[in-house]
A and B are shown apart, each in its own frame.
Chain A
């Protein structure tokens, strides 16, 4: 197989590089080119440290009013926040560290995520010690919750992972399967642990939410764990479990919720779509050849992004069938980042016309936008 000649794909698009590699190496029948190129590579944003091999390792906060986009990436014991102008020019950056505590080695951060709440935006950071919450620019820590390792057997690692905002609550998952629900005031540090959801038995991997859709569709939160189990909830002063969708022996690494449909990405490369209210499966996509590391949604247009360790990103269009209202999926676009095990991916604008990805060992954020 011919190795890549240059270290970076040229500006005219990664697909070109892939196409030349494929055609040079495989003159086998049936290997067509990818769908007509719809996206082009934009200028990358350099990072101080490479991205760690964690799932969902990219958070994006879109601030269209200020013509800014914030990015957050976990490196290891530190995470980097940076803001960039539309052309990708980095404007400001900040590094955050996991709060120290008892233990042999410096604690590792597992995830960083912006939580958009009705009256404020919080930046939440989870680690092997606990949960740190900051004002959205990371300048001030407003809350610290230390994890209780009391129940952990000697074999289990203790950490928090899985972060999402649901109404005025922030949900954070833990190694034990417990989901901590924090009640967030409109301003100030008076954050309170309101509830602990105890349904999952294995570490939480991801949590997704969407605004309540109205009377018919009550589900607004879904939690996923390492065994592949999905729990669908309705948030409130007391969260109510609506449905449970069992796993099938593979971790669910990333989950999204769109108009009452749960989209789940699994360790065997599959994306599955379920009806949130009933838990029944509606679409099964053999999407990737390796574990999926991230899913993201552009809810205004119903676009779903999947990224995996197989170096590919795929964009899908979700819609409801006019006949029976069931969810349907159409493939829109595929992109390859050669020799890069992806670990994070996000849309960068509400219409889903641009996205960014991170990769293991890669010290930059790669950006793509449609032509």
Chain B
């Protein structure tokens, strides 16, 4: 509904993805230099200037499938590989985390603060690269330029658009269940206590005015919650106290990332509905952002630095088991896009793709198509 939703969706989901990858890289004891490279590569791809330009153009929200393809490519923008089961789990965690954050935002405008929380944390994940830091700061400026002055009504529309995107997703996430922010039926807990949103009064007061506008009566009623006044408004500056904790990194090495797929429920019908309905322009959508990322793919060497596979599960057996037991209907079908000629190819897009430079020329390999799904040796 709102044409300004995609950047917020992309950046926040991307932020959650980075939190999870960072946690898994550490949990799997991937050597520091490799982990650093992966994180830097992915962040730099995500915040590529041309990509951001395309992203920030007012447009309709991508379909779930189209968006998923973008993240598949993003996750593979470096030397790291993920199996289908791990990629599925990663995406489930990302989407449920952001759904939770959107739902719990006190005011619709707070989704901007959530986004800034993600950007702040992403900057912390970048190591030894002022260039990439600068890219993120640039995106920060673009964000505050566009969203800083949007009205409350426009933010409400954005919020509704995001909630429509996340409708009927009820995957249970271990970390949420443990923290009691999600019920066993997959629904999030909505607290009726705590500070009210900035700009809202604590419920309970009825004020009556006479014909001349003078207050003549003040009565109280029992509203049922346990709210307190808001302390202060979160900052939209480059550096500032966001106040809101939503969007900050909730993972650490000791908190495993698990999901339970919801038991087949009647909600399944509405979820699969989307993947079945044919979309004549879907390929066009998938092409736009996904192809931009594909065009940016950092060359992987076949030489001294082999790639490695990241596992979102605790063991390989678990990952295999997850792939086998995941119901057919619930797996995301990823459409492989070849950057080939297409009748609908956008001329401008072709030109942009042609301009992408490989960041590290010395690593250009002649045999790009090598199979380098080799497992990294365990330490």
- Sample (30) of A-B pairs whose CB atoms are under 8 Å apart: A4-B189, A26-B193, A53-B163, A103-B60, A104-B281, A104-B285, A154-B3, A155-B4, A226-B154, A227-B151, A251-B152, A267-B153, A269-B196, A281-B209, A283-B208, A283-B209, A288-B203, A289-B203, A289-B223, A291-B108, A310-B203, A311-B192, A326-B211, A329-B206, A330-B219, A336-B224, A339-B189, A340-B190, A360-B167, A361-B167
Answer yes or no: B267 CB below 8 A from chain A CBs.
Answer: yes
Q: List the A side residues contacting B200 at CB < 8 Å.
A: 268-270, 286, 289-290
B223 touches A287 (CB 8 A): yes
A1 touches B167 (CB 8 A): no
Tally A residues with Cβ within 8 Å of B: 82
A7 touches B184 (CB 8 A): yes
* Top 7 closest pairs, chain A to chain B, by CB: A226-B153, A331-B221, A53-B163, A286-B201, A251-B153, A155-B58, A7-B185
B187 touches A286 (CB 8 A): no
A-side interface mostly: loop
Given contacts A202-B153, A287-B223, A2 and B180 within 8 Å (CB-CB): yes
Q: List the B side residues contacting A326 at CB < 8 Å.
A: 208-211
Answer yes or no: A157 CB below 8 A from chain B CBs.
Answer: yes
Q: List the B side residues contacting A363 at CB < 8 Å.
A: 266-267
Give 1 or 0 for each of A36-68: 1 = CB within 8 Å of chain B CB.
000000000000111011100000000000000
Answer yes or no: A106 CB below 8 A from chain B CBs.
Answer: yes
Q: Give complex CA distance A280, B213 in Å.
A: 7
Flag the segment in A27-35, A82-90, A134-142, A179-187 that touches B: A27-35
Q: List the B side residues contacting A275 at CB < 8 Å.
A: 211
Q: Give complex CA distance A103, B185 in Å.
A: 36
Answer yes or no: B188 CB below 8 A from chain A CBs.
Answer: yes
Give 1 or 0 for each of A333-365: 1 = CB within 8 Å of chain B CB.
010101111000000000000000000110100
List the A residue with the shortest CB-CB distance to B61. A105
Answer yes or no: B258 CB below 8 A from chain A CBs.
Answer: no
Answer yes or no: B351 CB below 8 A from chain A CBs.
Answer: no
Q: List the A side residues contacting B285 at CB < 8 Å.
A: 104
A331 touches B1 (CB 8 A): no
Q: List the B side residues contacting A32 at CB < 8 Å.
A: 222
Q: List the B side residues contacting A253 at CB < 8 Å.
A: 156
B-side interface mostly: loop
Nearest CB of B to A359, in Å = 10
Q: List the B side residues contacting A48 at CB < 8 Å.
A: 269
Q: Which of A255-272 contact B (CB under 8 A)?
A: 267-270
Nearest CB of A to B61, in Å = 8
Nearest CB of B to A316, in Å = 9
Answer yes or no: B106 CB below 8 A from chain A CBs.
Answer: yes
Answer yes or no: A159 CB below 8 A from chain B CBs.
Answer: yes
Give 1 or 0 for each of B130-173: 1 = CB within 8 Å of chain A CB.
00000000000000000000011110110110011001101000
Answer yes or no: A101 CB below 8 A from chain B CBs.
Answer: no
B213 touches A154 (CB 8 A): no
Contacts A270-B200, A289-B227 aside, 16 further interface pairs with beta carbons under 8 A come to A2-B180, A7-B184, A26-B226, A31-B226, A49-B270, A52-B164, A108-B164, A155-B3, A226-B157, A269-B196, A283-B207, A283-B209, A286-B202, A288-B203, A331-B222, A336-B224
Answer yes or no: B205 CB below 8 A from chain A CBs.
Answer: yes
A34 touches B224 (CB 8 A): yes
Q: Give complex CA distance A198, B60 in Å.
A: 27
Contact check: which of B3, B184, B219, B281 meets A157 at CB < 8 Å?
A: B3
Q: List the B side residues contacting A226 at CB < 8 Å.
A: 151-154, 156-157
B3 touches A34 (CB 8 A): no
Q: Which of B240-286 contact A (CB under 8 A)?
A: 266-267, 269-270, 277, 279, 281, 284-285
Answer yes or no: B310 CB below 8 A from chain A CBs.
Answer: no
Answer yes or no: A162 CB below 8 A from chain B CBs.
Answer: no
Given contacts A267-B156, A286-B201, A312-B223, A108 and B1 within 8 Å (CB-CB): yes
Q: List the A side residues contacting B159 at CB < 8 Å.
A: 53
List the B residue with the shortest CB-CB distance to A106. B277
Answer yes or no: A236 CB below 8 A from chain B CBs.
Answer: no
B168 touches A361 (CB 8 A): yes
Nearest CB of A to B58, in Å = 4
A104 touches B60 (CB 8 A): yes
B108 touches A328 (CB 8 A): no
Contact check: which of B154, B199, B206, B267 meets A50 at CB < 8 Å?
A: B267
A75 touches B270 (CB 8 A): yes
B157 touches A203 (CB 8 A): yes
A282 touches B208 (CB 8 A): yes
Answer yes or no: B327 CB below 8 A from chain A CBs.
Answer: no
Nearest CB of A to B84, in Å = 26
A157 touches B156 (CB 8 A): no
Given contacts A52-B164, A226-B153, A128 and B1 within 8 Å (CB-CB): yes
Answer yes or no: B63 CB below 8 A from chain A CBs.
Answer: yes
